[in-house]
A and B are shown apart, each in its own frame.
Chain A
Amino acid sequence: MLGYTLRRIIYTAPVLLGVSVVCFALVHISPGDPLISILPADASVELQERLLVLYGFDRSYLEQFFLWLGRALQGDLGTSIATGRPVTAEVMRAVGNTLMLASVATVIGFVLGCFFGFVAGYFSNSPLDKAASAAAVFGVSVPHYWLGMVLVIIFSAQLGWLPAAGAGPGGSSQWRFNTEYLSYMILPAITMSVIPMGIIARTVRALVAEILAQEFVIGLRARGLSEFGVFMHVVKNAAPTALAVMGVQLGYLLGGSILIETVFSWPGTGMLLNSAIFQRDLPLLQGTILVLAMFFVVLNLIVDVMQSALDPRIKR
């Protein structure tokens, strides 16, 4: 267990380094001079030179990378060109909102996905299975940004039950826990939960069908165990994989929230990315992507280690 954890951590280090190289390269693959967006149009050559040195763009890529990485490791991701504020502060403020939304969505998706998956797996090839499997296919096929729009049309535009956009009254940028703020979260969370719902339902269906086909289940039934008892055995066997899928899905939602946050004007990392892209705010783009990718890698690490702890059969 400890050995596996250590090996897994050591294996993650080069991936993290690679991820930071990709994030660093983002600024340099973008067309045009990296300074172009901060320089006034009539800037003198002298000013250009001075800024070039100030931002370190006159050094070699390798030097620039290690300078940038060193600062990033100390929590300094540079300054946003659009707002002039530190990128780290901007990202941290937004990450909370996205994490909140993605966690709620993952829980909803997990509960629904497990329900559909168990129903489909237990009553394999029955009409119930067909219905539950259809829900799963719907979840993995629907363009979620469109689903969000349709939900806004129905529940905000037509029925007027729920707010259409924002994280709270008066365009609040920070989500708080009370009933008024809660109503702002319902539509984006449901929209977001559809993806993990579909994926978890498919996984659980396959898992349950596979477990039920094993001989130990026949053994349990032969020894007269109640159907509930058998069910508990299935849950126990399916849980590690299902939980692992849930963990990975949380990471996907965190990283992929840009479309949903754009639809609902949710003030999270997705909105931040969106504004960074359209204001050509490259430090902000780079910093946000780095933080989200690191989150994803570390989350995958935690999921893997926890899965091997929960399921002693996994010895890798």
Chain B
Amino acid sequence: MVDATLSQPAITAVRSAGYWQNVGKRLVRDKTAMAAAGVLLLILLAAIFAPLVAPMDPLEGRLINRLKPIGTEGHLLGTDELGRDMLSRLIWGGRLSLLMGVTPVVLAFFLGSAIGIIAGYAGGWTNTLIMRTVDIFYAFPSVLLAVALSGALGAGLGNALLSLTVVFIPPIARVAESVTTRLRSSDFIEAARASGAGAFTIVRVHVLGNVLGPIFVYATSLVAVSMILASGLSFLGLGVRPPNPEWGLMLNTLRTAIYAQPWVAALPGAMIFMVSISFNLLSDGLRSAMEVRQ
């Protein structure tokens, strides 16, 4: 390695691309991941600009128009059990569904990382105390914990978000803790400590940059789970309340229509599926681009 640099000084003169630039380049070349990102962007934009994009009011319907099939004049994707336009409701539904799916993972990303990094960096008794507490919540199957908490707290958007955040903190904290613990004994941290850097500085400068990458990849794959779980809570009647459009809730109220208008009834679930699979494919692409192994 040293010989090569000595004999070819021209190469070292070329500024090598940064790590994140390389990741970006590899990710852009990944067709599947890019297609998934495109689908997500499209759904996100439609949800953000719902008032402009949606052809009709998602809350207003006429019972005389109820359960029209897909492809009806004026109702491209048919109408629901109260005669509301399905296309408009699906577009508006993206707002609450994405909010409910993404927010818990974002919150858990910050809280879980903080908990895991503190436990991993502190080590000793602090670590044992924090991680054994995390283990207790990890000992519940995720669906069960989400249902138990939001069932006890009572139905509602806020309680559902809170429950899901609690569900996702333990897995993220565990990843953060194991990466930090491995990092703690590495030479460059030793060196920083020896040169008098405080714990906060070491974490900020040396630990965060190395830990957040793997956690981020893991968190993107959790969004897929979170979408399914969040809509599942609404499907059970524990999340968003009617008449607000949300894919899980729409799927629930349309269950009565599976004999009359089966394919209209299945549409909201197809949206959840599309978002969930896109997040999974994007996460897979990101993982191989970053060469993060689990």
Q: Which residue of A lies closest to B225 (CB)?
A: A140
Q: Is the CB of A26 within 8 A of B140?
A: no
Q: Which residue of A lies closest to B140 (CB)?
A: A293
How would you classify the secondary structure of chain B's contact residues: helix, strand, loop or mixed? helix
Q: Is the CB of B141 within 8 A of A254?
A: yes
Q: How many residues of B contact A (CB 8 A)?
A: 46
For A256, give its contact among B142, B152, B259, B266 (CB under 8 Å): B142
Q: Is the CB of A256 within 8 A of B273?
A: no
A263 proximity list for chain B (CB < 8 A): 255
Q: Is the CB of B152 within 8 A of A293?
A: no
Tell whether A149 pairs with B255 under 8 Å between CB atoms, given A31-B153, A140-B280: yes
A19 proximity list for chain B (CB < 8 A): 136, 139-140
Q: Is the CB of B147 within 8 A of A15?
A: no
Query: Does B272 reach chain A (CB closer than 8 Å)?
Result: yes
Q: Is the CB of A157 within 8 A of B136?
A: no
B141 proximity list for chain A (CB < 8 A): 251-252, 254-256, 292-293, 296
Query: Does A228 reach chain B (CB closer than 8 Å)?
Result: no
Q: Is the CB of B136 within 8 A of A142?
A: no
Q: Which residue of B lies closest to A156 (CB)?
A: B258
Q: Is the CB of B143 within 8 A of A137?
A: no
**Please, what's the 1-or-0 string for B257-277, where 1 marks a CB less than 8 Å from any CB in chain A?**
011001101101110110011
Q: Is the CB of A158 within 8 A of B262?
A: yes
For A146, give its contact among B144, B154, B272 (CB under 8 Å): B272
**Please, what's the 1-or-0 string for A12-30, where 1 marks a CB less than 8 Å from any CB in chain B?**
0011001101110011011
Q: Is the CB of A297 within 8 A of B262?
A: no
Query: Does B238 reach chain A (CB closer than 8 Å)?
Result: yes
Q: Which residue of A lies closest to B235 (CB)?
A: A145
Q: Is the CB of A150 within 8 A of B153?
A: no
For B269, give its contact among A137, A146, A278 (CB under 8 Å): A146
Of the stretches A2-10, A169-177, A269-277, the one at the interface is A269-277
Within 8 A of B (CB), among A227-286: 251-252, 254-256, 258-259, 262-263, 273-274, 276-278, 282, 285
A296 proximity list for chain B (CB < 8 A): 139-141, 144
Query: Does A153 reach chain B (CB closer than 8 Å)?
Result: yes
Query: Does A138 reach chain B (CB closer than 8 Å)?
Result: yes
How would you classify the secondary structure of chain A's contact residues: helix, strand, loop or mixed? helix
Query: Does A37 reach chain B (CB closer than 8 Å)?
Result: no
Q: Is the CB of A137 within 8 A of B273?
A: no
Query: Does B11 reach chain A (CB closer than 8 Å)?
Result: no
Q: Which residue of A lies closest to B141 (CB)?
A: A255
Alpha-carbon distance between A26 and B140 when the two chains are bound, in angstroms: 13
Query: Does A135 reach chain B (CB closer than 8 Å)?
Result: no
Within 8 A of B (CB), among A136-182: 137-138, 140-147, 149-150, 152-153, 157-158
For A273, give its contact among B135, B147, B268 (CB under 8 Å): B147
Alpha-carbon distance between A287 and B49 when the two chains are bound, in angstroms: 45
Alpha-carbon distance between A214 and B136 when the two chains are bound, in angstroms: 37
Q: Is the CB of A137 within 8 A of B281?
A: yes
Alpha-carbon distance between A142 and B277 when the two chains are bound, in angstroms: 7
For A289, give its contact among B144, B268, B281 (CB under 8 Å): B144
Alpha-carbon distance between A172 and B79 when the two chains are bound, in angstroms: 35
The distance from the CB of B147 to the nearest CB of chain A, in whole angstroms, is: 6
Query: Does B116 reach chain A (CB closer than 8 Å)?
Result: no
Q: Is the CB of B152 within 8 A of A27?
A: yes
**Please, what's the 1-or-0 string for B232-267, where 1 marks a CB less than 8 Å from any CB in chain A?**
100111100000000000010001001100110110
A-B contact pairs, 14 of them (CB 8 A): A18-B136, A29-B153, A137-B281, A140-B224, A140-B280, A141-B276, A145-B235, A146-B269, A157-B259, A255-B143, A256-B144, A259-B236, A276-B151, A293-B144
Residues of B within 8 A of A (CB): 132-133, 135-137, 139-144, 147-149, 151-154, 224, 227-228, 231-232, 235-238, 251, 255, 258-259, 262-263, 265-266, 268-270, 272-273, 276-277, 279-281, 284
